[in-house]
Structure 1
Amino acid sequence: MLALFKVECLKLKGTKILWLSIIILALTIALEFYSYTGSTKYSIDRDGWNDYFMSVVILINFLTGYMSYYILTCYIYAREYQERTHMALFTSPVRRSRLYFSKLLVIYMYIAVSLLLAFGLSALLGMLITTRPLTFEIVIYQLGIFAKMILMHAMLIPIITFIAIRWRKFVPAIMGMCTVMCLNFVLVNTPGNTFYPWTVPLLFSPHGTLGRTFTNVPGGVISICFIFVLGLLLALRSYIRIETK
């Protein structure tokens, strides 16, 4: 498995899609930094560090996280068909389930590293525009938030891998990304919003005035666990049974 993981990392290294995914998240940090430096409406000195980080968290959980992760996911799982190398891959003696999980592990590593770097970069840029100290308690609290984000975004990936495997094209990434973002806008303030799994990362993190006052935590846990298990089963079934022609 480790050897397959290294191969997938090498295949992804330096690709335009990887850079696009990184740039999307980098622009998120840059946009929030610009908002705090270019407008008197936002101030770390006045509002505190937690509000500053919350603005970054909301944007990632609401829009840019899905853009970055889904583009990369569909690319990783559909690239063999796009490059017409799938026959060599699927006729190799390596079990397809191991191939699937090696690719999934690459995506999970990217999610974890990118979110931790987003936190670190946000903190460094924030210290340039305030004299308010970033205390150890705030750092630990925010790391807990970002750790939960890693877990929740990771649980939403398998269903996207199924879409990529099923349709074997990069286009589903764009369609899925647009659908998720549009439904987030529509459903985030509705009753039962947590039963739509893609609102869960937003609603289970600090989200300001977005969403309803009451968050149905059990409903959110059930919905995101259900979509994780369903996506994993569908993706594995499709990947194992996929034809080589």
Structure 2
Amino acid sequence: MGLLVEVLKSEMLKLKGTKIAYIVPFLTLATIFLVFFMYASNPKYSIDELGWDEYYMTIYMIFNMMTGISMYYIFAGYIFSREYQDNMDIVLFTSSIPKHKFLIGKFLIVLGFIIFSMVIVLLLPFLLGITISNEPFTIQLFCKQLKTVLLMTLMHFSLIPIGAYFSIRWKNMLSVVLLLVTILFLNLILINAPINTLFPWAVPFIFSPNEAGRTFTNYPLGIFTLIFTFILGSALCRYEFYRKN
């Protein structure tokens, strides 16, 4: 446990003073404020008119379709390729710290930033919303949003290992960016396709509140897809990390 804590401290120190550390809070805030200003400036999208659920749903839709996938993959790409890009990978295979602890530490850093962004997604819309609405925000409504945000956290984290594998395999962030562009393009095409739950990056959008208008969602298949993607990505990460180091 002590070695793992040291790895976490080391990863946090590497982030200190870097611009990449701000991408997660910046894009999270940008999404929330975009929706907030839309609801604040247009009576058609008033919280009093549509309700808190609709307000939060709009944030979830943008976040799961575009923002979340983008910022998490860019951040993970940086975390997992940093040593290779800075020609410091010698540290990875000369250190006395077991290699699996390096991997776990990096995954925990990414998970920490995902949780941090999700706390913002849960609380900030409420704090902004009460300034423009008199609609009551009940404890039942809070619990509903909390459940959604927890589910989103698990779903987005399950997709991280595949992006991490790309950054380790090709030793740079460009590979992750190219993967990300492909994912976003396919998301737009497959989101309403009959087999959409077979595409893991579409599942966070499908499983969260949205207005896509589907009459049927294959939840077991979507859950299987996420679990399989997480296991496959983790196995590929471990194999590639050990092979290179």
For residues 50 and 226 of structure 2, the distance between their equivalents in structure 1, rounded to whole angstroms, comes to 32
Asked if the contact 2:24/2:117 (under 8 Å) is kept, the reply is no
For residues 145 and 219 of structure 2, the distance between their equivalents in structure 1, rounded to whole angstroms, comes to 20
- Matching residue of 1:181: 184
- Matching residue of 1:21: 24
Please point out which of 165, 168, 173 is paired with 1:165.
168
Shift of residue 211 of structure 1? 5.7
Where structure 2 has 5 or more consecutive residues not aligned to the other structure, the ranges are none
For residues 85 and 193 of structure 2, the distance between their equivalents in structure 1, rounded to whole angstroms, comes to 39
- Matching residue of 2:83: 80
Shift of residue 12 of structure 1? 1.3
Partner secondary structure for residue 14 of structure 1? coil
Please point out which of 237, 240, 243 is paired with 1:235.
237
Shift of residue 183 of structure 1? 0.7
Asked if the contact 1:22/1:68 (under 8 Å) is kept, the reply is no
Shift of residue 122 of structure 1? 1.0
Matches within 5 A, 1:220-231: 220-231=222-233
For residues 131 and 211 of structure 1, the distance between their equivalents in structure 2, rounded to whole angstroms, comes to 29
Which segment is superposed worse, 172-181 or 47-56?
172-181
Shift of residue 11 of structure 1? 1.4
Change (3 A) 1:79 1:123: same
Asked if the contact 2:73/2:180 (under 8 Å) is kept, the reply is yes
State the identity as a percent: 38
Question: Runs of at least 4 residues of structure 1 off by over 6 A?
Answer: none
Partner secondary structure for residue 217 of structure 2? coil
Change (3 A) 1:143 1:56: same
Q: Return the letter of the residue paired with 2:122.
A: F
Asked if the contact 1:191/1:212 (under 8 Å) is kept, the reply is no
TM-score normalised by the chain length of structure 2 = 0.96
Q: Does 1:116 align with 2:102?
A: no
Shift of residue 180 of structure 1? 1.2
Deviations 1:49-107 (A, max 9, x none): 01100001111110000111001000001111111111123211111111011000000
Q: Return the letter of the residue paired with 2:241.
A: Y
Change (3 A) 1:24 1:112: same
Asked if the contact 1:203/1:211 (under 8 Å) is kept, the reply is no
Which segment is superposed worse, 9-18 or 227-236?
9-18
Shift of residue 20 of structure 1? 2.1
Asked if the contact 2:92/2:99 (under 8 Å) is kept, the reply is no
Aligned length: 242
- Matching residue of 1:126: 129
Matches within 5 A, 1:1-245: 1-208=4-211, 210=212, 212-243=214-245
Deviations 1:125-160 (A, max 9, x none): 111110111111100110000000000001000111
